[in-house]
Amino acid sequence: MRIADKTELLVAWPLGLELSWLNGVLLGCRVRHAAGLVPTGTTAAGRSLLAALERYVGGQPTVWPRVPMELHGLPEFTRRVLLTLRDQVPHGATTTYGELAALAGSPGAARAVGQIMARNSWPLLVPCHRVLGADGALTGFSAEGGLDLKRLLLEIEGAVLPA
């Protein structure tokens, strides 16, 4: 297990984004409700991500800054799914696990995509909250806050949710 050389906490109510960096590469992040969090962070990358987070919680369409992410060591399929989601499912849009599998070049791999989403180390930057069940239902969100947080993120983005 790697220990990050820097942890930054970015806060833009109602969300906090905790970033773990090692040698300028983003190892992972965590999304949390911002209540009671004290922001830290002074790196240039952290400031650009904070600006994006502020736009995001303000409901503005947000393209997250591209920061180096620690993708080394991940299986090729995992990298392909994560980058496909990041690059092809924009702010306010949703997809299903099966559709994402097809977009990533592996139709029929919906379950595998679900497992990848459950282990996504970069929520918001790799927007796993935009991935829904085959029937459009909110399913499988393992971040702190669970499905309530997933719903909040989609509402912030103005995504159309099932009734």
Domain spans, the chain? 6-57, 76-157
Which tokens sit at 11?
């806060």
How far apart CA 143 and CA 129 sit, in angstroms, is: 9
Mean pLDDT, residues 9-24 taken together: 92
The residue whose two tokens read 């995504």 is 159
pLDDT bin (cut points 50, 70, 90) of residue 2 is: low
Residue 69 three-state SS: strand
Whether 143 has a pLDDT exceeding 90, the answer reads: no
128 carries an active-site annotation = yes
Q: H or E segment at 56?
A: helix 44-57
pLDDT in tens, 58-94: 999 998 999 999 999 999 999 999 999 999 999 999 9
pLDDT in tens, 100-135: 999 999 999 999 999 999 999 999 999 999 999 999
The pLDDT value recorded for residue 54 is 95
Measured CA to CA in angstroms, residue 27 lies from 40, 48, 139 at distances of 17, 17, 25
The pLDDT value recorded for residue 163 is 65
Mean pLDDT, residues 136-154 taken together: 88
- Answering whether pTM is above 0.85, one says yes
Whether 30 has a pLDDT exceeding 90, the answer reads: yes
Which of 81, 128, 132, 156 is an active site residue? Answer: 128
The pLDDT value recorded for residue 141 is 83
Mean pLDDT, residues 155-162 taken together: 87
Residue 92 three-state SS: coil
The structural architecture, per CATH, of the domain 76-157 is Orthogonal Bundle (1.10)
